[in-house]
């Protein structure tokens, strides 16, 4: 997904994948978009989140212009 600066903001989604070894995960948004995130983006400092957890997050431009989730907060 290419980043549109006008759509950057707070969003909600569900964690659909999370690998504790690599710290990488994927959040599914209501519109079907999937965004990657890294465990250091989890705001409570736990560096872990359960698959199926509801989260809110901010969308940031990532590598190669792809969007990524950051400031991931468990709900």
Look at 67 and 50; give whichever has higher pLDDT: 50
Q: Which residues contact 50 (CB under 8 A, 6 or more apart)?
A: 15, 18
pLDDT digits (tens, 9 = 90+) for 24-38: 999 999 889 999 999
Distances (CA, A) of 26 to 38, 43, 50: 9, 16, 11
Domain total for the chain?
1
pTM: 0.85
- Containing structural domain, residue 66: 5-74
Which CATH number do you get for residue 69?
2.40.50.140
């Amino acid at each position: 997904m290419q980043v549109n600066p006008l759509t950057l903001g707070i969003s909600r989604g569900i964690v659909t994948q999370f690998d504790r070894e690599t710290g990488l995960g994927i959040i599914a948004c209501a519109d079907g978009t999937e965004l990657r995130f890294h465990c250091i983006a989890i705001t409570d400092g736990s560096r872990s989140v359960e698959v199926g957890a509801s989260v809110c997050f901010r969308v940031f431009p990532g590598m190669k212009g792809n969007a990524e989730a950051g400031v991931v907060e468990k709900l």
